[in-house]
Structure 1
Amino acid sequence: MNRKRVLITGAAGFLGSHLCDKFIAEDYHVLAMDNLITGDLKNIEHLFQLEQFEFYHHDVTKFVHVAGDLDYILHFASPASPIDYLKIPIQTLKVGSLGTHNLLGLAKEKNARILIASTSEVYGDPLVHPQTEEYYGNVNTIGPRGVYDEAKRFQESITMAYHRFHGLETRIVRIFNTYGPRMRLNDGRVIPAFIGQALRGEDLTIFGDGSQTRSFCFVSDQIEGIYKLLLSDYVEPVNIGNPYEITIKDFAEEIIKLTGTSQKVIYQDLPKDDPMQRQPDISRAKEVLGWEPLVNRQEGMKITYNYFKSLSPKELTKKAHKDFSKHIRK
């Protein structure tokens, strides 16, 4: 059987692993690639025995070779949480620049369509609310978060350059806050941080006064939006996220109610350049893709909480590791 072949980078990460599941379910041959700097093979171990799934342990900032034809590439390799990209800033910049360049070159060689995972962070600390794709952003290029924000902005620029100059089939998704099973408790993002603290009986930590807002999209909705964008004819960036906005303070209260715990909320200084508002305008996604989120936050948070609650005490404090070496192709 001649299945279409898709390369997914960052495949052992949160979104990457769910994308692997989606394309397997849609009967593609999936080539998964990850250097495991932040990804975890536990996220894709259930796919190792499938004949239409291959895993390659490789860093995309180095030359990327894939044998045979490729129909699609989805570039999701990048640290995505503040803890990660502040700890490994150079690698973050390299995967957004060198890694993207290598994969665009591979797409050109294979005549494959490539979708680039960008982020709402290209808008920085926005002066426009909600954020539309036409907004250019308010980013501090030399601040600590600039290593992630500017890597993603460069990603978009070089992707459009390949589209315009080489006629390459490209797509750009701007991903807003996404949550669900397989997030890492220790990655510093709001939802796993709050749930982790609740499960460990710790007070919930809010940075700033809690008036800053976020909009949380459940992972199944995010994956469906990405899939629809890949298969569409639209080349400009598209926001994929849930437009329902909530303050961090109110969200902390929701977590306490969900977990049935009685912790206090404590406050610490807001990190430099942390955005005060984050809400996607999804008019373009509705019009072009016929997409909008279906899972409300209450439903999605129950699923996410039950996932985290099922983790062992060891996993609540540290990532578990397992030997999957026999499945890895170098």
Structure 2
Amino acid sequence: MQYKKLGESDLKVSEICLGTMTFGHQNSLEEAHKQLDYAVSYGVNFIDTAEMYPVPPRAETYGKTEAYIGEWLKHQQRDQLIIATKIAGPGRAVKWVRDGAQEINRDNVKQAIDNSLKRLQTDYIDLYQIHWPDRYVPTFGQTIFDPQQERDTVPIAEQLSVFADLIQAGKIRYLGLSNETPWGVSEFSHVAKQLGLPKVVSIQNAYNLINRTFDSALAEACYRENIGLLAYSPLAFGYLSGKYVNGKPENTRITLYQGFGQRYHKPNVNEAVAAYVEIAHKYNLSPVQLALAFVRSRWFVTSTIIGATTIEQLDENLSSLDVILEKDIIAETDAINVKYPSPAP
């Protein structure tokens, strides 16, 4: 396991991060703790969660993931772990989160962080992330910006000033973005520099073999601002494992939850996945190993967020650490991307 510096922070995070959004819905408390123990035994020191987890989000399970982690975390050596969580933003149908008051303003942020700290049973959060922007942007598979959907938004300077106070109070150490755009990365960085406010150190966006939109404008913005990518959905909701190539197996998120993962129900996804699976088999790799090793190989990726519902899946994910992709394999994946460019952005 390698450990990388996250942006301009002093956090050194494992190149694999354990994602937890199944804890409290698909995974029981006992299963969650087994996954956490197993990941840490493998060298993982970085755990990512969110106040709205588990997913799919529901009022009756809201906050369970953080609570499950908290029951485990209270028995760990806290300073050896890096815990990341997120505040839910406005504009999505999660009315049970603070009764729908989700603007990234002072009152909501203070309430959200205090609730997360209580559930996680810790005094501080290492990386606190805005789950999606306060302002309107196309997210979670939407690709077209529509000015007609503009809404009132909390100025970025005001958002940063709240986080500055929380950092001063010792409740959070660093700030990160999630599901952000090149404009958002640049504006957060510019305002922070201009006003002497905390600079964001990370961005958590989807990135995988069938969604390489980060490669262009976002990669440049993050390079110039020294912001590390925490790549989520590296297996594209399991599509890149190859398990959907010949149909839809039972008891997966795609088959269990109607309408889930719409960003992967698009033209050329199946064709592209089949091509990547063929490359994996050609080089005696599992499709999972190829997909995760590819994400890990990108120069802008600081950590790859993996998620699993079973220890067996988690073990296969972690086995990708032993895989270093040769130039020939990378060239073949690039050729597929030319043929089917990011079919699931």
- TM bracket (short chain): 0.3 to 0.5
Q: TM-score, normalised by structure 1?
A: 0.36
Q: TM-score, normalised by structure 2?
A: 0.35
